[in-house]
Chains A and B, each alone.
Chain A
Amino acid sequence: MTQLVQTIVLGLLIGGVYALLAGGLALIFGVMDVINVAQGALLILAAFVAWTLWNDFGIDPLLSVLVTTPLMFGLGWVMYKTTIQWISGRPASMSVLLTFALALVIEGAMGMAWSTTYHAATPGYFAQSFRLGDFYFPKAQVFGCVIAFGVLTFLYVLLRYTWLGRAIRAVSENVSSARLVGVNPKKVAALTFAVGVAMAGAGGSIASVLYPFLPGSHYQWISRLLGIIVLGGMGSLPGAVVGALALGVAETMTATYISPRWATMMPYALIMVVLLARPQGIMGAKLREDAVI
């Protein structure tokens, strides 16, 4: 029983970090119908930046969120302006190919800059835990989860109470209507993409402490994130959070009770089952196809 509760709590903690990362993907998809397959590579890039700041300058990797987030925001904006915006209106699968191509470029660039070996940021609290009765909670995971939900709350407030947030929500509902009421969808899309990538920046900093990583890790991360947003219902932020927590628990359960090596299969299994059984996910609405004219 203790082990079960322990496993679930660990799953929820890691799920909180997944929620932040998948949230960026869901936000981008919701607003511009682009699946940013490069999200995994971008988060690894942020992890490498965090690792360098820690290794070379002694900056705490969790604190480096303050650096990686704005940095990745800028990179996201540049990515949108130079590539993504040119394929709007083309078939959906083209955006998958384009962002996949960008992921490969980023992977190669990271390999050249940091080599293709495993890295991990190991600050002082890395191996420590909070104890509570029979349970223990690794400090890194607790801090990571807290920061992740902090950023998510910030994002929620942004979407809910600011003009930009309203504009983003308007564009995700209906591009042409948003344009009619004075929202510039291109500007909103660029900002949304940048915000989504910035979330990968914050998440990458946290991930650098939680898991060892190398440039090629992004495949595993992107499939995990895709699994989450498919489960949660593609463009839905609350769905992404729920899906992230569910996948976190599913992974730790598989690793504890079956075998860690099959835990890598969980995201794929999840994707397959959900897409086939309930393609709209947990929180996604089923749309009338004929209504889109």
Chain B
Amino acid sequence: MRSFVRGNPWRFAIVAGLGFIAVYPLVSDDLYYQNMIMLSLLLAIMGSGWNVISGFTGYVSLGQSAFLGIGAYTTAILSVRVFDGASPFWFVPVSAVVAGIFAAVVGAVLMRTRGHSFVILTIAFLFVMQIVALNWSEVTNGNHGITLPLPDWNRDYQNWPFYYGFFALMLLSIATSWWIRRTKLGMGLVAIREDENKAGGVGVATPTYKVLAFVASAVWIGAAGGIYAYYLSFIDPRGMFDIVVSVQIVLAVLLGGRGTLWGPILGAFILEPLNEITNQEIGGGNERLIFFGGLLALVVLLLPRGIIPSVQELVARRRETGTAALVGERLGRPLEVRGRAAEPAPRTGRALLEIKGVEKRFGGLRALDGCSISVEEGTITALIGPNGSGKTTLFNIIDGTMSRDRGEVWFDGERIDRLHTWERAHRGMGRTFQVTRLFREMTVLENVVAPLRSFTWRQLGTVAVAGHEAERAEELLDFVGMRRFASHRASALSFGQQKLVELAQVLMLDPKLIMLDEPAGGINPTLISHMAEMIRELNRGGTTFLVVEHNMPLVLGLCDPIHVLARGSCICSGTPTEVQADPAVLDAYLGDDYLVEREAV
């Protein structure tokens, strides 16, 4: 313990705070402050839960207080109506399970939407629960609410069972958050927050992750609802499914620091005492609404990142002056990849990827109109064509970002056009983007570790950045020449550097096929030849490439064969020489005055 806190004021504050809460009821019998701490603990539990779904995963829920109500009603109904006066504490675990089940079902449905829609749906979920509790009076006693038995223990113990029940649940919530944050599960959630489509593309089975996050965000709130019902000894629909409670949760976490481990706790212990004091000083009801509404507006406007991240940033800025200069430093000469061979990969003649008659429409526009191409194993195949010819759309259909209207996609002898993006990634398909899409808030190393080659339940619980994978990621960063940036945030990199990191990220999937969308777009000539060298190197190691590119010298020097796309279908395929001589290609893309010149790249 002493070594844990030594020289670290953060940890000291945490240990001191938790210690204070742990002993407070033993040394003081002031019920007013005990009540205040209990309500703070409750808010901390709810905030910590909300933080998992909204802080880590980025899905803002305004319906989180519904799980408090679900837990409270579960315990109340079981102890009063079903088991006729049994101690409510028996049913607290049941409340947790019921809240978790609700979260799984509701989450599986609601999380098909994003952004605004999700926020609105969570509000709707909360009000639907309230209306059900009001109207289903046979079970919930409707408007009249349910009265629970009074505590049956010796008065000498005051409210200790409630107090320590909440305390234990808060510790469990914190432990859950901590565990999630350091595992593959947590890294997947952050990836979803940063860029959900991209997360799917690098092998994260996003729906499973999101539902798990929603369940994790609900169970402890459900359990707390059970204890809370017993503590209040009376519950009714309006008090239990209260949107203002949801607002308090959001406010507490925003105040403390969304996405951090201790932010929700800090926020709760600031907000709840403030709530009590304002209740006493300025009265409840309307004044309270104005106070909380005003505070929420102020926090959103002035302190959107919360206390802890803002303070951390201040401290970091002081400590790290100068390192920012590293960004933009010239790239060292890298290149060392496993299994390197001098010769190009042997061509097997087998089609690794086959597109058969794919069609895609956007309203009246036919982006792809019966497009068929195949990519032979071991080649660096190019896909060229004028803007709007459907190249990126084809990429999106191959990797599953978009669904095709008609046609088939075969990969490695298997039909894949109905598979999810992550399932395609698991089969050995990787892709980079025209405009890079790294997970901006993650470090470079985390970005490279994030891809997953498979989905297993056990994998979810393994530590995110560790062991063999971390070593492999560092190797890959070394390969692309970005190792020294491993601990930088991705958003701090230049565009060209991001392209290199994105390549390393894709390589982490150990893909059979890499699809590059304009690898040379927007980067300097030195980097372009560097990029070409790496592509050749990887190809010698056995990786097949499909490249979309407008830089003709690069394409002609690097790729063979070349497919030419125009108006949604493939008009010509062949070697660079054949393609350059084809009149249809000259007409559609290169232009009549295009001079055949094979520059060495």
Contact = CB atoms under 8 A, between A and B. Distances in A.
A221 B520 CA distance: 53
Interface in B378-399: 392, 396
Given A223-B123, A271-B124, A108 B112 contact: no
Interface string A65-104: 0000000000000000001001100111110111011111
A290 interface: yes
Contact of A94 (B244, B304, B396): B304
A104 B60 contact: no
A97 B135 contact: no
| Chain B contact residues, majority secondary structure | helix
Contact of A105 (B109, B121, B131, B289): B289
B271 to A, nearest CB: 14
Contacts of A106: 293
In the complex, which range does the number of interface residues on chain A fall in?
35 or more
A112 B283 CA distance: 12
Interface string A168-206: 000000000000000000000000000000000000000
Interface of B: 58, 60, 62, 109-110, 112-113, 115-117, 119-121, 123-125, 127-128, 131, 134-135, 197, 243-244, 247, 250, 254, 285-297, 300-301, 304, 362-363, 392, 396, 401-402, 434-435
Contact of A279 (B113, B295, B300, B301): B113
Given A272-B121, A276-B113, A290-B401, A265 B128 contact: yes
Contacts of A275: 113, 117, 120-121
Contacts of A288: 362
B392 A290 contact: yes
A108 to B, nearest CB: 3
29 contacts: A35-B116, A83-B297, A86-B301, A87-B300, A93-B119, A96-B62, A98-B296, A98-B301, A100-B62, A101-B297, A104-B244, A104-B290, A104-B296, A105-B289, A105-B293, A106-B293, A108-B287, A108-B290, A109-B290, A111-B285, A111-B289, A112-B290, A215-B286, A219-B243, A271-B124, A279-B117, A288-B362, A290-B392, A293-B434
Contacts of A290: 392, 396, 401-402
Interface centre among B113, B123, B135, B392 (most CB of A within 10 A): B123
Contacts of B197: 289
Interface in A238-277: 261-262, 264-265, 267-269, 271-272, 275-276
B119 A98 contact: no
Interface string A277-289: 0010000010011
B243 A92 contact: no
B112 A100 contact: no
A100 B289 contact: no
B301 A272 contact: no
